[in-house]
Structure 1
Amino acid sequence: MNVWIFTAGIVCLFTALVHIFAGQVDTVRPFLKSELPDVPKITLLGCWHMVSSILVLAGAVLTYIGWFDLTLYKNLVIGISVSFIVFSLVFIVVGGCFFKLQTFSKLPQWILLLLIGALGFAGAI
């Protein structure tokens, strides 16, 4: 077992659950009730569910690779890890444009995304 990669997978699956269930209440439902026109509303809802899919798939892949210590898939783990580090940076930069330093507390998603990327990367090197 590669504990680093396995832990990255478990954190990613946990993040997926938070995104899917808590996100529905805090973000998606109020957003769908907004006055935004239907096309951008449905487009953003589709993006929301694409993120859910990525979190579940990446979490499953990282957990599986970590559990069986499949070093053959090291490049896949690195690719997933780099993606999650970039996702974290996107939240920091975009949030920083709106909230300045408060982005670190108002948009805490960056923490889990960075953690998933760092744990996966640590396990792959």
Structure 2
Amino acid sequence: MNVWILSAGGLGLLTALIHLFAGQADPVRPFLKSNLEDVPKATLLACWHLVSVTLFVSSLALLYVGWHDLQAFYLATRLVGALYLLFALVFIAVGWYFFANKVFIKLPQWTLLLPIGLLASYGAS
């Protein structure tokens, strides 16, 4: 068992659940009620659910690799870790563009994504 990777997977699963349930209430419902045209609205909703799938599948993979300590999958685990680190950087960059120094409060998603990336990367190193 690799507790670092297992922890990354557990935090990832929690993040996926928060994304699925809290995300529906906060950004998705108001967005769907907006006056945006249907094609961009449908595209953005599909992208939202692509993120949901990515969060769930990558978290389950991390849990599996961490539970069984499958060193043969450590390269893939490092790639998943890098993906989460990049996700965190995207939230920080986009948040900085819209909210300047209030980025860390207005878009706190990075606070879950960054530790997942760090835990997975460290566990696979």
TM-score (norm: length of structure 2):
0.99
The match for 1:63 is 63
The match for 1:84 is 84
Report deviation, 1:41.
Answer: 0.5
Q: Separation in 2 of the partners of 1:87 and 1:95?
A: 12
Q: Is there any run of 5+ residues in structure 1 with no aligned partner, and where?
A: none
Q: In structure 2, give the amino acid aligned to 1:71.
A: Q
Q: In structure 2, give the amino acid aligned to 1:66.
A: G
Q: Separation in 2 of the partners of 1:14 and 1:80?
A: 16
Aligned counterparts, 1:1-125, within 5 A = 1-125=1-125
Percent identity of equivalent pairs: 54
Q: In structure 1, give the amino acid aligned to 2:88.
A: S
Q: CA RMSD in A?
A: 0.5
Q: Is there any run of 5+ residues in structure 2 with no aligned partner, and where?
A: none
SS of 2:77's equivalent in the other structure is helix
Q: How many aligned residue pairs are there? A: 125
Q: Separation in 2 of the partners of 1:68 and 1:14?
A: 20
Q: In structure 2, give the amino acid aligned to 1:43.
A: T
TM-score (norm: length of structure 1):
0.99
